[in-house]
Amino acid sequence: MPMTAPSFELPSPNPASAPMDLIFIEGFRGQTVIGIHDSELHHPQPLCIDLHAGLPRAHACRSDRIADTIDYGVVRERLVGLMQHHGVQLLEALAERIATMLLVDFGAAWVRVRIIKPRKFDDVEAVGVMIERRRSEADERGPAGAVGGAQILQWMGAGTVPGERT
């Protein structure tokens, strides 16, 4: 059975703003320990993550250089690291960590993150959360956003250095 729910439409992050280029990852599949019930806290369970990150007119369209956009390969590596070291219980908190990572570390102006727990209940295809954030919201949280120094050290130990670009 597929782990993703049907696709969802992406409205413009702000219709009055400049055109937005969207970089996305759909259907990232990972296993992690997350939840609040005892049955969820001892064994990894599957998650499916969709994310969209917007850049106002990415310079990569003209330069053809990966350094001028968000490298979704690096984002994927960071998601793999988060599945191992996120340290949160709620999908909402994990979605917030992912959104902050995209806004602060990758320079996105707008993000949408959807996290799905497939087959959480026998009579439900999937449960999950979807959040949207803008850069101004991340700026209010400070340069590290919701990610503390200990989390950054964990990522570095896992070989996924925040802000590192290739």
Rounded to the nearest angstrom, the gap between the alpha carbon of residue 156 and the centroid of all alpha carbons in its chain is 18
What pLDDT, on a 0 to 100 scale, did the predictor assign at position 153?
A: 57
Strands (E), 101-161: 110-118, 126-134
Options 3.30.1130.10, 3.50.50.60, 3.30.450.40, 3.30.457.10; which CATH number does 20-157 get?
A: 3.30.1130.10
Provide mean pLDDT across the span 127-131.
Answer: 95
Measured over the CA atoms of residue 82, residue 85, residue 91 and residue 92, the dihedral's sign is negative
Amino acid 95 reads A
Question: Residues near 99 by Cβ (< 8 Å), separated by ≥ 6?
Answer: 111, 113, 131, 132, 133, 138
Q: Please choose, from the candidates 48, 51, 45, 46, the residue with its C-alpha nearest in 3D space to the C-alpha of residue 74.
A: 51
Q: For the chain, give me the number of helices (H) and strands (E)?
A: 5, 4
Query: What confidence tens digit (pLDDT) does each residue in 60-112 have?
Result: 888 988 988 999 999 999 999 999 888 888 899 999 999 999 999 999 999 99
pLDDT band at 1 (very low <50, low <70, confident <90, very high): very low
Report pLDDT digits (tens) over 50-69: 999 999 877 888 898 898 89
Token duo for residue 137: 């919201």
Region 35-62 average pLDDT: 88
| R_g of the chain, CA atoms, integer Å | 16
For residue 15, the model assigns a pLDDT of: 44
